[in-house]
Structure 1
């Protein structure tokens, strides 16, 4: 039997926000993987180590969680007034599947630093000190992200004193602007049904009041109390309960149909990344997963969200956009949980601590839209060089 040597592909392993992923320049990928299709998916799954029936990713770069099973492909952009294209793949852990249906808000913070360090930004635009503004075209959802990347001595600054709950060590702050982060299409698409609150009937599970929104990422919000929660749940309380996970997945599947994302609940398994299911509750003190005490006075509301079938250890960046946007619209379940009224900025409690995010919304002729959502993250390079992947054949 002839054994072929492994492929050696230039790559960078990066943390962005509370996620980690393997970053590639499009031009560095094998030719067959430079275009969408089976070859690209197979390559990224092998890089991550999926599918892994053991759920460990021992033979790959993944971390066997939704936050660490990610790949990013970056290239120079042909979209006017944008610097780079950012394509994100969420790799399933235990099945042969890459979900391209949404963005990763956390890894969005690493795109600007990667682009600058890998020569995708004109050096003349990079200041000696200050911030380099990188305009990113998010390919998965066709939206603009503006990253304000800190620069020191002409290079990306990675260390700093910005603390992000869910990340162990402080780093440099990277402000992000998500421009027009709701879906395009029919009027009122930010709320797919045209309603701020809907009644969702889930056969075999129950009937729930929900807010369904497509801002940042399609999200189905429920009241924590309606699920038997109080909003202070940490991962073990949810992720160790298989019956509860199945209940939440069933709600997600029926919500996806109601939002028009799929036409039958059976198709939810092929769209694992979106929509998200989240629940909210009024502010209440609790102990974060790190042991840090969060006081009710520290936050406006509590929020928890599911990602790839499990409770997220912190909060997805895209879901943070959804939370901030929904909180800014009077009458949504998120706004109600935050105490109602007009809110341009909200601070919410998640399993790892707290997060502050803002959104600018407007209502014209009864139709709500969001023009911009803003939050800060941090990012840094963990390793760079070449990732090795067994050659096929």
Structure 2
């Protein structure tokens, strides 16, 4: 019996923010996987180890959570004013599906460092010491991200004393600017609030009618009040991820919100759009103990937020959802803004399961429409391993 040998593909395994992913230069991918399509999806599924009915991804690079089942493709950009194009693929764990519908804000922090280290940025734009400014075209959502990457002795600086809740060890700070973060989603008309309202009455069978803020910023996100669905906003992962009824409730809420936002036409389509929209719940500040054992006092934060990613409560906060939180907090009258005490604000610090995070955004209202020029937050990134990944030659 003939056996097909494995194929070696240059790749880098990187932690970006509170996520991990396998990064590729587009030019290093096998020719048939450089363009969108079945071959590319099949390759990335096999790299990550999906679909896996055991939900462990033992035979791949994935870590069996939404935060670690991720892939990134980076290429030199032909777009004016940009250095690189960044494409993100969220790989399903238990089904043969790669979701290309949104960005990963956490891995965005690793794109600039990866691009510099892999020769994708004009060397003339990279200082030997100081901060390199990398302009990134986020191809999934058609938005610009500006990464400020520290450089030391001609190399990307990865070590440092910047601490990020949800990441065990300190590293170098990478500041990200998400420019004009209102997502231009199909069916949403490019509007920050696709329904035209800051708060909607969202009817969900089995739950009744809930107040909801549905926003396109960073990533399409549906916010509801914690108390309206029986929570306090202090929950950690085990309180929700071990409760099948709760997970089903959140998925129903997410699906009905997606229809209302115009992202899908029927709730049946939600299963094929797992990455977006996100569902989150907010509450006013109270003290709690983070998953690390660190105490978070009510006075440490402006509000509490918990968010689900790929059907499970996230261990910290998705970077794109943090952009949505910062944007919504800056707009008086949204549920996020009201949970933070209302009024105008240019930054917000929120509590999540692993601790706290600060994100800044400035909103302005022009001719009755809200807009945000940019949202700003800091993450960190570190290369964990580089070399080649191997996949069976007949797997894609």
C-alpha offsets along residues 62-121 of structure 1, whole Å, 9 cap, x if unaligned? 000000000000000011100000000000000000000000000000000000000001
In the alignment, the residues of structure 1 paired with residue 52 and residue 184 of structure 2 have an alpha-carbon distance, to the nearest angstrom, of 36
Contact kept, 8 Å, 1:187 with 1:367, in 2: the verdict is no
In the alignment, the residues of structure 1 paired with residue 79 and residue 281 of structure 2 have an alpha-carbon distance, to the nearest angstrom, of 36
Runs of 4+ in 1 over 4 A off after TM superposition: 185-188
TM-score w.r.t. structure 2 length? 0.98
Contact kept, 8 Å, 1:181 with 1:216, in 2: the verdict is yes
C-alpha offsets along residues 194-227 of structure 1, whole Å, 9 cap, x if unaligned? 0000000011222100000000000000000001
Map residues 184-333 of structure 1 onto 2, 5 A cutoff.
Answer: 184=184, 189-333=191-335
In the alignment, the residues of structure 2 paired with residue 210 and residue 34 of structure 1 have an alpha-carbon distance, to the nearest angstrom, of 40
| 1:123 corresponds to | 123
Q: Unaligned stretches of 5+ in structure 1?
A: none
- Tell me whether 1:182 sits opposite 2:182 in the alignment: yes
Contact kept, 8 Å, 2:332 with 2:342, in 1: the verdict is yes
Contact kept, 8 Å, 2:182 with 2:190, in 1: the verdict is no
In the alignment, the residues of structure 1 paired with residue 90 and residue 352 of structure 2 have an alpha-carbon distance, to the nearest angstrom, of 22
Shift of 1:188: 7.3
In the alignment, the residues of structure 1 paired with residue 171 and residue 235 of structure 2 have an alpha-carbon distance, to the nearest angstrom, of 27
Q: Unaligned stretches of 5+ in structure 2?
A: none
| 2:2 corresponds to | 2
Contact kept, 8 Å, 1:188 with 1:369, in 2: the verdict is no
| 1:26 corresponds to | 26
In the alignment, the residues of structure 2 paired with residue 69 and residue 187 of structure 1 have an alpha-carbon distance, to the nearest angstrom, of 30
| 1:114 corresponds to | 114
In the alignment, the residues of structure 1 paired with residue 81 and residue 280 of structure 2 have an alpha-carbon distance, to the nearest angstrom, of 34
TM-score w.r.t. structure 1 length? 0.99
Number of residues of Structure 1 aligned to a counterpart in Structure 2 = 393
In the alignment, the residues of structure 2 paired with residue 356 and residue 345 of structure 1 have an alpha-carbon distance, to the nearest angstrom, of 7
Instruction: State the superposition RMSD in angstroms.
Output: 1.0
| 1:91 corresponds to | 91
In the alignment, the residues of structure 2 paired with residue 203 and residue 228 of structure 1 have an alpha-carbon distance, to the nearest angstrom, of 16
Report the secondary structure of 2:270's partner residue. helix
In the alignment, the residues of structure 2 paired with residue 302 and residue 254 of structure 1 have an alpha-carbon distance, to the nearest angstrom, of 23
In the alignment, the residues of structure 1 paired with residue 264 and residue 369 of structure 2 have an alpha-carbon distance, to the nearest angstrom, of 24
Shift of 1:169: 0.1
Contact kept, 8 Å, 2:184 with 2:216, in 1: the verdict is no
Q: Which moved more, 1:184-193 or 1:70-79?
A: 184-193
Report the secondary structure of 1:291's partner residue. coil
In the alignment, the residues of structure 2 paired with residue 298 and residue 309 of structure 1 have an alpha-carbon distance, to the nearest angstrom, of 28
C-alpha offsets along residues 123-178 of structure 1, whole Å, 9 cap, x if unaligned? 22211110000000000000000000000011000000000000000000000000
Shift of 1:184: 3.6
In the alignment, the residues of structure 1 paired with residue 190 and residue 361 of structure 2 have an alpha-carbon distance, to the nearest angstrom, of 17
